[in-house]
Each structure stands twice: as structure tokens, then as C-alpha cells.
Amino acid sequence: MIAMRFCESDYAAIKRKAEKANMNFTEFVTVAAMNKPVTVINGLNDVLKEQKAIGRNINQLTTLCNMGKIICPDLRELKAQYAEVLTTLNEIVGRCG
């Protein structure tokens, strides 16, 4: 462990940047000191949450099919939701680079 000193205004500014990057103070300072890029992607958490929900729905349908409780489910709605997620992810990737 190494202690560092910051003036209050610098500490507050670094802390705000770390929070914006979804990192803790130590992670942010370490990454910045190593000249590694800090990338903040707004909206990614919401898209990933939606993608996980779609995956859970697919897993539930697969389980029901394997149990013989349903046969040949209609996947049009899931396909449409997934297409929206992919469109949003492509837009996010376009902003990043």
C-alpha cells in the first residue's frame, strides 16, 4: 500500500471522473498513470441488461421444449427484441470509434 496526497479540488475532480467511468478511485488513478485509455460507454448497461433478459427467455423456452411441455415456440418476438439490441449495440460501437 502506498499513500498519496492530493489537494481537495484535484481529489474531487479525479473522484468524479472515476465515478463517470464506473471505476473506483484507485482503479482510475492506476489506469490513468499507466497511460491506458479510459473509455466510458453511455447506455451500455441498459443494452446488456436487455440482452441478458432475452438470453434468460431463450433458456426458459429451451428447458420447456426439452421437458416436452411446449413444442416449436414462436420466436418472432424474441428475434425482434434481439434485433433491436443488436442495432443499439452497433450504434454504441459507432460512437466509440
What is this structure's pTM?
Answer: 0.56
Q: What CA–CA distance (Å, rounded) separates 13 from 6? A: 10
* DSSP letter for each residue of 10-47: HHHHHHHHHHHTT--HHHHHHHHHTT------TTHHHH
Residue spans per domain, the chain: 7-40, 44-96
- Amino acid identity of residue 52, one-letter, is K
Per-residue confidence of the chain (97 residues) as pLDDT tens digits? 888 899 999 999 999 999 988 889 999 999 999 988 887 777 788 888 999 999 999 899 999 999 999 888 888 988 899 899 899 888 888 877 6
What's residue 66's pLDDT? 92
* Cell (9 digits) for 23: 471505476
Distance CA 84, CA 13 (A): 36
Question: Distance between CA atoms of 8 and 18, rounded to whole angstroms?
Answer: 15
CA dist., res. 80 & res. 83, Å (int): 5
